[in-house]
Structure 1
Amino acid sequence: MPLTDIAIRNAKPRDKQYKLADSGGLYLLITPPGGKLWRLKFRVSGRERKLAIGSYPEIGLSEARKRRDEARESLAMGKDPAREKQRDKIRARLQAENTFAGIAAEYCEKRKRDGHKAWAPATAVRSEYLVGLLNKSIGHMPISEIEPADVLAAIRKVEAKGNLESARRMQQLASAVFRHAVATARLASDPTRDLRGALTAPKVTHYAAITDPKGVGDLLRAIDGYEGQGITKFALQLAPHVFVRPGELRHAEWAEIDFEATVWAIPASRTKMRRVHHVPLSRQAVELLQQVHAITGPSGYVFPSLRTRLRPMSENTLNAGLRRLGYASDEMTAHGFRAMASTLLNESGKWSPDAIERALAHGESNKVRAAYHRGAHWNERVDMAQWWSDHLDMLRDGAEILPFQRKPAQG
């Protein structure tokens, strides 16, 4: 006889569990503690199986019968309802795990240890910060449910603050995360592909740099007269001679400096092109490094943080030093030493453009050509490094250049 709501409500627990049958294999299991659990008994290939439907009163009689009928429809189609339920649980768990935040974290970890393509530490920090901004809006969402409008709304919050470059980078990172999900069979396609052109393009700006000879001489004399922290002064003095990227200079370690061979080998993990960059050291560069070695050597960072030798100099230190000397951010930057060298070395006409490009560690798309240039231009680069340092000394000491007049510090 089919069950009724009154019979279910009046069912009392006993010393042992017992069943109240409904129909079509559905029954209610009454447990000694008083639990009332819906179960469905069925057969698959002659073997008896059971399906847990839920508990009463959370699932009422009519809902239990509805789920019984759905399970029997699955049986009619040759499916095992119990196994389908297990699969649904797995799919739900995977969907919960495969949130944007989870897959983004997985992608970031992959990029940090991605062989020669691995992110530099600074890039990793910046990228994880921007992913964190995305996570505030879409991090909790299953990646398969995210639509273009969701991503755009998250990025617009950053764009609205005028951070156009950050917004552009966020869109690139979001797309990379989605493509990673596609590649790992957790998503059908990248929803950001339709967002191209949706953001305001940031204005391309170049790092401010002094590139006229007289201005260079003024700057070098200003640096020699720097009255701030001694380590900062040494870094500012070395920067024009080696003209590496500021991050590479700040993270320099004594283990990378070979005084005997007069070479600084920057490891691939810290270079933009993800390959070892050898920097020939001029006599002047070696002398500066020897002075620093007496202070911060023989191990660890060449230019450590003022607070702890376990960390490198802050990324703002060099630019702050230039501001202290009176150079505004639109006049000279730490990155500007590279443009200074590139401009004056090319204008000298003494060195091949390829040797200058290699010295700047710019990328070469042709791998065979890149390998050739590494070897073919080394001797020229060694000569160029010494000529450049001598030229900087001449600009600093040149009789035709008036003594430097210190600018007042801004702010």
Structure 2
Amino acid sequence: MALTDVAIRSAKPRAKPYKVGDSLGLFLLITPAGGKLWRFKYRIHGKEKTLAVGVYPEVGLADARRRRDEARQLLLDGKDPGVEKRRAKVRAQMEASNTFSTIATEFCQKRKRDGQKRWAPATATRSEYLLSLLNGSIGRMPIAEIEPIDVLAAVQRIESEGKLESARRTLQLAGAVFRYAVATARIRSDPTRDLKGALTSPSVTHYGAILDPSRVGELLRAIEGYDGQPISKLAMQIAPHVFVRPGELRHATWEDVDFDNALWTIPAAKTKMRKDHLVPLSRQALTLLKQLHGLTGPKGYLFPSMRTRARPMSDNTINAGLRRLGYSTDEMTAHGFRATASTLLNESGKWHPDAIERALAHGESDKVRAAYHRGAHWNERVAMAQWWSDYLDTLRRASKA
């Protein structure tokens, strides 16, 4: 006879456990302590087994029968309900441990050692920081449970603080983490894929740069009169001659500099394009580097931090020096030395545009063309480096009038 709620409530404990049957293999196990446990008895592959389906009254009669029916359906599909229950438990535990922050950390570690595509140190630091902004919102959530609205709310908090570019980049990075989770079979789809256009687009801003030759001369004279830290001054003096990216300058080490061959090799790991970049050094650049060598050589960073030689100088050091000299962010920045060189070298009409682009370490989409021009313009780049330094000297020495 099938059980009823009245019969279940009336069942009293005995000295030993006993069963009260329902139907189709479902029964209630009454323990001496008064516990009432739902069990489902079934047979598979010739073996009789018992599946725990809940505890009364948390699981009522109707729910117990529903769970029994689900187990019976698994049997019809040739699956063992007990095995499937254990799998579901393991899967739930894995999903609970696979939080967004856990997967994000794993993703960042992968990108930092990802061959030619690996992040530069500065990119890794920035990306890890931006992803950490999500720790308080979706960071502890199992990644499989995160929905588009959760991500949107998280990045909109950043946007509401006026950090439009940070919000945009954080959403991009979150999408990369979700796609990594898809690729590693942790989730089925990326919840950020339908969020394009949801954030306010930041205004495009360009790095402040001085492009007028006479004003470049004024800048060089101002740097020459800088009375701050000697290492900071040398950084500002060297930057115009080599016009590399600020991060590449900051992370340069003495092992990268070959004085005998007047060559600075920036390893692929330190470049934006993930390719070795060779910088020919003019006589002026070599002179400045030798002065710097007396302060920070012979090992480690060319421009170490003021606090410890184990880290490079701050990414704000050159910009802070320029501000101290009276140049606003709109007028001149550390990155602006590249725009200055690019503009004036092109305007001189003396150098092939490809040689200038190669000196700036800009990427070349055509791999065959890139391989050809890397070698074809080397001699021109060496000559151009010396001409450029001589030209800077001419501008620096020019009358302030």
TM-score by length of 2: 0.91
- 1:139-218 aligned at under 5 Å gives the runs 139-218=139-218
Is the CA contact 1:182–1:188 (under 8 Å) kept in the aligned structure 2? yes
Q: How many residues align?
A: 397
- Among the aligned pairs, what percent are the same residue? 68
Is the CA contact 1:13–1:30 (under 8 Å) kept in the aligned structure 2? no
Residues 196, 57 of structure 1: alpha-carbon distance in 2 compared, 3 angstrom cutoff: closer
Q: Deviations over 1:132-188 (max 9, x none)?
A: 223432233343443333322222222222222112212221222222233333333
Partner Cα distance (2:170, 2:36) in 1: 51
Q: Which amino acid aligns with 1:357?
A: E
Partner Cα distance (1:13, 1:245) in 2: 82
Is the CA contact 1:210–1:336 (under 8 Å) kept in the aligned structure 2? yes
Q: Which amino acid aligns with 1:170?
A: T
Cα deviation, residue 241, structure 1: 0.7
Aligned residue in 1 for 2:110: 110
Aligned residue in 1 for 2:400: 401
Cα deviation, residue 287, structure 1: 1.1
SS in 1 for 2:306: coil
Partner Cα distance (1:193, 1:61) in 2: 43
Q: Deviations over 1:191-212 (max 9, x none)?
A: 3232222222221111101111
Is the CA contact 2:13–2:34 (under 8 Å) kept in the aligned structure 1? no
Unaligned stretches of 5+ residues in structure 1:
403-411
Partner Cα distance (1:13, 1:271) in 2: 77
Cα deviation, residue 94, structure 1: 3.3
Cα deviation, residue 23, structure 1: 3.7
Partner Cα distance (1:391, 1:130) in 2: 41
Q: Deviations over 1:109-130 (max 9, x none)?
A: 2211111111111111111122
Is the CA contact 2:209–2:339 (under 8 Å) kept in the aligned structure 1? yes
Aligned residue in 1 for 2:21: 22
Aligned residue in 2 for 1:405: none
Partner Cα distance (1:143, 1:95) in 2: 7
SS in 1 for 2:329: coil
Residues 65, 200 of structure 1: alpha-carbon distance in 2 compared, 3 angstrom cutoff: closer
- C-alpha RMSD over aligned residues: 2.4
Aligned residue in 2 for 1:345: 345
- 1:238-257 aligned at under 5 Å gives the runs 238-257=238-257
Cα deviation, residue 37, structure 1: 4.6
Cα deviation, residue 272, structure 1: 0.6
Is the CA contact 1:108–1:128 (under 8 Å) kept in the aligned structure 2? yes
SS in 1 for 2:133: helix
Partner Cα distance (2:145, 2:236) in 1: 51
Q: 1:11 aligns with which of 6, 10, 13?
A: 13
Is the CA contact 1:2–1:21 (under 8 Å) kept in the aligned structure 2? no
Q: Which amino acid aligns with 2:369?
A: R
| Stretch deviating more after TM superposition (88-97 or 377-386) | 88-97
Aligned residue in 2 for 1:273: 273
Unaligned stretches of 5+ residues in structure 2:
none
- 1:12-411 aligned at under 5 Å gives the runs 18-24=17-23, 25-27=25-27, 37-55=37-55, 58-59=58-59, 63-398=63-398, 400-402=399-401
SS in 2 for 1:193: coil
Cα deviation, residue 244, structure 1: 0.6
SS in 1 for 2:50: strand
Q: Deviations over 1:251-294 (max 9, x none)?
A: 11111111111111111111110111111111111111111111
Q: Deviations over 1:18-72 (max 9, x none)?
A: 4434244445556788866543322112211121234455445664454334323
Is the CA contact 1:101–1:140 (under 8 Å) kept in the aligned structure 2? yes
Partner Cα distance (1:66, 1:205) in 2: 61
Is the CA contact 1:232–1:321 (under 8 Å) kept in the aligned structure 2? yes
Residues 215, 371 of structure 1: alpha-carbon distance in 2 compared, 3 angstrom cutoff: same
Partner Cα distance (1:322, 1:312) in 2: 19
| Stretch deviating more after TM superposition (133-142 or 40-49) | 133-142
Residues 63, 27 of structure 1: alpha-carbon distance in 2 compared, 3 angstrom cutoff: same
Q: Which amino acid aligns with 1:189?
A: S
| Stretch deviating more after TM superposition (251-260 or 180-189) | 180-189
Is the CA contact 2:14–2:31 (under 8 Å) kept in the aligned structure 1? no
Partner Cα distance (2:73, 2:223) in 1: 83
Partner Cα distance (1:11, 1:307) in 2: 73
Residues 302, 13 of structure 1: alpha-carbon distance in 2 compared, 3 angstrom cutoff: farther
Is the CA contact 1:13–1:34 (under 8 Å) kept in the aligned structure 2? no
Cα deviation, residue 394, structure 1: 1.1
